[in-house]
Structure 1
Amino acid sequence: MTKLFIYAAAIIAGMSLSIEAAIGGALGERIGELESTYYIFIIGAMATFLVTLFFGKGNLKQIFTVPRWNLTGGLLGVVYLGLLVISVTLIGVGVSVTAVIVGQIVMSIIIEHFGLLGAQRIRLNANRLIAVGLLAVSFILIL
């Protein structure tokens, strides 16, 4: 796989999150934010089960041998999606997603700077600091 393909896949993933936020926000206004989050996770779990059933090549039994902190992703996913659905209903998709992106980049840079959670260590540098500043400006401008 070329890096260009990986970049495109990541952009498509980001686009799908914005679509999911809009759909989740609209659903949340109709059935409730927490109910919307629950529904999205149920459908996602069923879809992931089917994809894993037919295409999975890993070893799910290994889940019992990994460090406990590796299992917190599901909980963080609920926090992320729940707060996103709530924020979309209150401030809109654009502002919510921009805030999410700023939060993701800031935390990603912190994780990489310190090599936390098994991530490759990449030191904070001027380019990354400028990027965070520009993201903060974009957040202010989209308000």
Structure 2
Amino acid sequence: MDIVLVGILAVLGGMTVALQGQFMGVMDTAIGTRESMFITYAGGGLVITLVTLFLRGGNLRAAASVPWYVLATGLLGLVIVGTIGFTVPRLGLTTALVLVIAGQFLASLLIERFGWFGALPRPFEWTRLLGVAFLLLGVWLTTRK
């Protein structure tokens, strides 16, 4: 797949994170964090179940061959969805997502630096650290009053 198309897909995915964050915040305020997480996962689970059954084929049996820790993605997803749903109505959409993204950048730097969880190890580079510093400056600029 063309790298430009992949980049566009990533931007669109990021835009859906903002939409989901706002929707989760509205649900969190109206019905609570746990309940909104349930609705989010039940809806997504139903859709992917129907898609999987409709398209058939696939490679679900290969899940037995992946490292055990990658099966925690559902649990990690609950933390992500719950965190966004809880923080958006309390901090605002932009502040909540900027802080979530800052956490993603910091964790991804460590994961790649040390090659954890099968990531391709990347040596320390000052430019990458500077990029994260600018991101943190962006956090400060978008969260200050």
Which TM-score bucket, shorter chain as reference?
over 0.9
TM-score between the two structures when normalised by the length of structure 2: 0.93
**In structure 1, distance between residues paired with 2:49 and 2:5:** 25
Moved more, 61-70 or 36-45: 61-70
Q: 1:60-79 counterparts in 2 under 5 A?
A: 60-79=60-79
**In structure 2, distance between residues paired with 1:137 and 1:57:** 47
The corresponding residue for 1:10 is 10
The corresponding residue for 2:113 is 113
1:134 matched to 2:134? The reply is: yes
**What stretches of structure 1 of length at least 5 have no aligned partner?**
none
1:94 matched to 2:94? The reply is: yes
Structure showing greater relative contact order (alpha-carbon pairs closer than 8 Å, 6 or more residues apart): 2
- Runs of 4+ off more than 4 Å: none
Q: Percent of aligned pairs with the same residue? A: 31
Moved more, 53-62 or 130-139: 53-62
**In structure 2, distance between residues paired with 1:136 and 1:142:** 10
TM-score between the two structures when normalised by the length of structure 1: 0.94
